[in-house]
Structures are given as C-alpha cells and as structure tokens.
Amino acid sequence: MSILGLIAAFGGGVFAAAIGALPAFIMTGVFAVVGAVAGMCGAADASNILVNYFAFGSFFGPHIAFAGGVAAAAYAKKKGLNENGAAIAVACAGYNAPDVLLVGGVFGVIGFLFKELVVANLFAGTISARLVTDAPGITVFLSGVLVRLVFGGKLKTSDKVISSGNVLSTTIVIAACYSLVVAGIYLGAIANGVDPAAFAGLYHVLIFGMAAVGLVFAEMGVAFFGCHHIVIIAAEATVQSYAQMGNLYASLVIGVIFGVLAAILGDIEGNTINCGTDSHIDNPAFAIFIMTFVVNACFPVVA
C-alpha cells in the first residue's frame, strides 16, 4: 500500500466533493478512455499512469472520488444545506461549507483503505482466480451503505423490488442491444483477423470509460440511460468467455446474457435501496461487483 497514495486519496475525495460525484465520475471515464487507447497503441507506460493513477487511482478512482462526492452530498443534507442527499450531480463547493468537503476527503481515504486492505487481499485472485470482483464497484457500493448508516436514513427505501411494464422492457431492450454491440465489435474484430492481444487487455476499460463519459448528457439534464454497469460486464464476459472457449457466437450470446443480468440487478437495487433523498447507494456499482464475481467464477482469468 502506498502511503503517498493514501494521502492523495484525501485530496481526491475533497476534489470530487467540490465538483460533485457525477462530474468526478465523468472524468474517470475520460482518463479511462484515453488510457485504454494509449495501451492499445502500445504506450504501456502512459496507459498505466492514465488508467491506474488517474482513472482508477487516488485522483478519479470511483472508490475514492465518486464515493467521497456521495458522502459529501449526504452530509450536506444532514446539515440542512440541501433537500436531496442523493444529488450527486451538484457541486458541494457551492455550499461554502468546508466541513462538507472534508467529509468527502475522509470517505476518499476510507475507500482507498478498503480497496487496498480488504479487496486486494480477498477478492483480487489472491485466494482463487474464481473469487475476483471489481474493486471500485464493491467499494463504491459498500461506502454508500456506510454513508446511509452514518448520516441517517433507512437502508431499504421501498417495498418495490423491480420495475414493471415499459420501464423494465426498455431496460432489457437497452441492455441486450448495448451488450450486443459491445460483444459484436470485439468478436467481429477477431473474426476479421485482429489479434485479441491488440486490445492489450483493456477492452472493458475502454467500454466502461465511454459509458462514463456519456453521463455528461445526464449532467446536462438529458434522459441518458446510465449503462456502464451493463457494458463493462458484457465486455468482460465476452472477452473472458472467448479466451476460454474460442467460440465467437457462444461468446456473443454470453456477453448479451451477462449484460442483461447486470441491468436487472441494477434495476432491483435501484428500486429497493437507491431511491429516496437520504443518500445515493450506487446501483451500477452493485451490479458491477456482483456480476464481476459471476463472470470470474464462470470464466476465470488464468495467468
């Protein structure tokens, strides 16, 4: 564990609280895309810096920055500075309350420590290649639960379990079709003679980053369908299943199935926990960490 990284995580949490959790996450996407492209172009050192130190490090790592912004928003509501503790698109610097920003820093540190001390030792392949999850995803979700417990509010906020009617149908259609294009592009490239190594193991990072950048439209008030939990799982399932089976069409189907499952999990968590105004408990993070466990249990990455 890097002590300098830990110190930087406090600043990352404050920075995200100041600009808002969602804008910070959009920046995660920007650096993820640029870093993934750099890696695919052969610039391994640049890719390492952009992906591991910026996008998923102490600056914009969701487990630090997004989690810090979420905590700051909830604390601001507890202080009576806003009416919606789940307003993750709002820049907390506008409240002119230094303690709100410092709460973001504290939760940035908590996120850093949880990732380095818990996830890295239990769920990063250290016990088994089949027991691996997404470190930012599980940290963001559990940090959100901690925020809810610390700053007040019920954990379960609704008796509704899953969306119904056209809302659920739309979610499934979007998930299936987004997963189809994610899986199809990767497998289509391979079918046309592209070496899977050309993606440098970064396809899921690129796809995740693109979806995160797309949330800029949500920040602008457009009804953008948040899909990063869908597309990253579809990408991981496609890449890892193809590496094991070598069957293009089977991997295409698997990518779509896993993407749809991620969408349904996100919908369930969004209806049962992440509704109301107390705080934000991220449903995409919930879907990502659960489905990453599933992907790796079915198609473990063997070094």
Confidence (pLDDT) at 303: 65
Q: Rounded distance, CA 147 to CA 127, Å?
A: 29
More confident of the two residues 285 and 303: 285
User: For 237-262, b where at least 16 C-beta lie within 10 A, e where not — what string?
Assistant: bbbbbbeeeeebeebbbbbbebbbbb
Instruction: Answer whether residue 149 shows pLDDT above 90.
Output: yes
Give the 3-state secondary structure of residue 238: helix
**How far is CA 242 from each of CA 74, 87, 100, 204, rounded to the nearest angstrom?**
42, 40, 46, 14
Among residues 209, 272, 185, which one has the least CA distance to residue 50? 209
Confidence (pLDDT) at 154: 86
What's the whole-number mean pLDDT along residues 181-194?
98
Q: Which two tokens stand for residue 302?
A: 């063997």
| pTM (whole model) above 0.85 | yes
Q: Which two tokens stand for residue 42?
A: 């052969």
CA contacts within 13 A on the Cβ side of 254: 23
Average pLDDT, the chain: 96
Count CB neighbours of 93 within 10 A.
17
Confidence class for position 182, pLDDT limits 50, 70, 90: very high
- pLDDT digit string, tens, across residues 58-106: 999 999 999 999 999 999 999 999 999 999 999 999 999 999 999 999 9
Confidence class for position 156, pLDDT limits 50, 70, 90: confident
Location of structure tokens 């003679």: 193
Write the single-letter amino acid at 300: P
DSSP state of 52: I
Q: Which two tokens stand for residue 212?
A: 């995160």
CB contact at 8 A, 33 and 210: yes
Ramachandran quadrant class, 154 (left: phi over 0; alpha: psi -120 to 50; beta: rest):
beta
CB contact at 8 A, 134 and 291: no
